[in-house]
Structure 1
Amino acid sequence: MLNESELATLRNRFKKDAEFLMQTSTSGDEGEKSQKEKDAKPLPRFNRHSVFWIVASVGVTYYVDFLRNIMENEDIKSWWFNVGLILLVICLSLAMFCIVYLEWFKGIEHYDHEYPAIPPITTAAFIAASCSFNMALWPVWSFFTPLILFTQFMGVVMFISLLG
């Protein structure tokens, strides 16, 4: 076993080595970050991914006659559809509150730190709305309903990302 002085020497050596490693890794990270920041380019607004989802959404809207079916089809379960609409309005209202009021007017970029309950409530409202819409529209499109609604959702999200 090591005696007291050998143990102290070993401890000091590891402490010096650790300090040296921390100094070199910290200075290396700063140079690396600045180089990465210099090389970073903003992503282009129009990319294949966005265009694909927008075109797919327009195609699905046309092919399944989405808007006419929503307005005129009597097979839709209206109670589930109304619940989905209410939850979607809640979700969109919270999103608009965060984007328009908190970010644009108040200048709060990290609103999830100021109002930590908003992201989980918005997420829960959106998930519940999508489940409600799937239940309401299942009699119309059967097992294609989740695919149709997901395509519509992705098309809207990609279109909004092009606007901002």
Structure 2
Amino acid sequence: MDPGEHDPEPVLRRRVEFPEEFKEQIRQVIIEEESKAKRPKSYVLAFLEAGVWVAIASLIIIYTDFFEEVQTSPYINRFYFNLGLFFISAFSAIGAYAIVWLSWIKGDENWERVPSLLFPTAAFCILAGLICTTIGLWSLWSWLSPFIVFFVMMGFCMPLSVV
């Protein structure tokens, strides 16, 4: 083929027609898969998962004397710790709005139609809360602070996801 010549038009294959029985089987498989995807997660597994997170958080709180240390330790950077508590409180308020007001009172289970800034704001609040409380507790537990804060926060959040 010379450099100035173009490839001939591609030859299209003849379309294959499937029998109606096969098309019906495919439709049934698609319907079954869609119904499986729409099924909610088993409540037993959800409660079990939440229980494991609460148990881990409880063990950490007991082992580290978390509440006593938070109240009395002079090593805590109070500004960052209180700022983190503020962000965690804002996250909790957003979660309460979504669960109580939208789901229970208005009966709207489809949260995709809620105001567009609700969930990005919640994500920002929880991340800022985790970072600020970790900075606030760093001088107390040093490198264990991110793990302690993460597990305590998951023990707080996971039971709310079961609701």
Kindly state the Cα deviation for residue 53 of structure 1 after the two structures are TM-superposed.
2.4
Determine the structure 1 residue equivalent to 2:3: none
Determine the structure 1 residue equivalent to 2:104: 104
Assess, with a 3 A threshold, how the Cα gap between structure 1 residues 58 and 161 changes in structure 2: closer, same or farther: same
Give the aligned CA root-mean-square deviation in angstroms: 3.3
TM-score (norm 2): 0.76
**Structure 1: which 5+ residue stretches go unaligned?**
none
Kindly state the Cα deviation for residue 96 of structure 1 after the two structures are TM-superposed.
0.8
Size of the aligned set, in residue pairs, is 153
Q: How does 1:82-101 map to 2 (within 5 A)?
A: 82-101=82-101
Spell out, residue by residue over 1:129-151, the C-alpha distance to the aligned partner (whole angstroms, 9 max, x if none).
10000000000100000111112
Give the secondary structure class of the aligned counterpart of 1:96: helix
Assess, with a 3 A threshold, how the Cα gap between structure 1 residues 21 and 141 changes in structure 2: closer, same or farther: farther
CA distance in 2, matches of 1:40, 1:86: 33
**Structure 2: which 5+ residue stretches go unaligned?**
1-7
1:143 maps to amino acid:
W
Assess, with a 3 A threshold, how the Cα gap between structure 1 residues 121 and 103 changes in structure 2: closer, same or farther: same
Kindly state the Cα deviation for residue 17 of structure 1 after the two structures are TM-superposed.
2.4
Does 1:141 find its partner at 2:144? no
Kindly state the Cα deviation for residue 110 of structure 1 after the two structures are TM-superposed.
1.5
Assess, with a 3 A threshold, how the Cα gap between structure 1 residues 139 and 120 changes in structure 2: closer, same or farther: same
Assess, with a 3 A threshold, how the Cα gap between structure 1 residues 74 and 159 changes in structure 2: closer, same or farther: same
Give the secondary structure class of the aligned counterpart of 2:17: helix
Larger helix percent: 1
Determine the structure 2 residue equivalent to 1:29: 30
1:69 maps to amino acid:
E
Kindly state the Cα deviation for residue 55 of structure 1 after the two structures are TM-superposed.
2.1
CA distance in 2, matches of 1:92, 1:32: 35
1:152 maps to amino acid:
V
User: In percent, how many aligned pairs have the same letter?
Assistant: 25
Contact persistence 1:112–1:118 (CA under 8 A): no
Assess, with a 3 A threshold, how the Cα gap between structure 1 residues 86 and 21 changes in structure 2: closer, same or farther: farther
Q: How does 1:4-43 map to 2 (within 5 A)?
A: 13-14=14-15, 17=17, 23-24=23-24, 25-30=26-31, 36=36, 42-43=42-43
TM-score (norm 1): 0.76
Contact persistence 1:112–1:119 (CA under 8 A): no
Moved over 4 A (4+): 18-22, 31-34
Contact persistence 1:60–1:152 (CA under 8 A): yes
Kindly state the Cα deviation for residue 161 of structure 1 after the two structures are TM-superposed.
4.7
CA distance in 1, matches of 2:94, 2:138: 27
Give the secondary structure class of the aligned counterpart of 1:17: coil
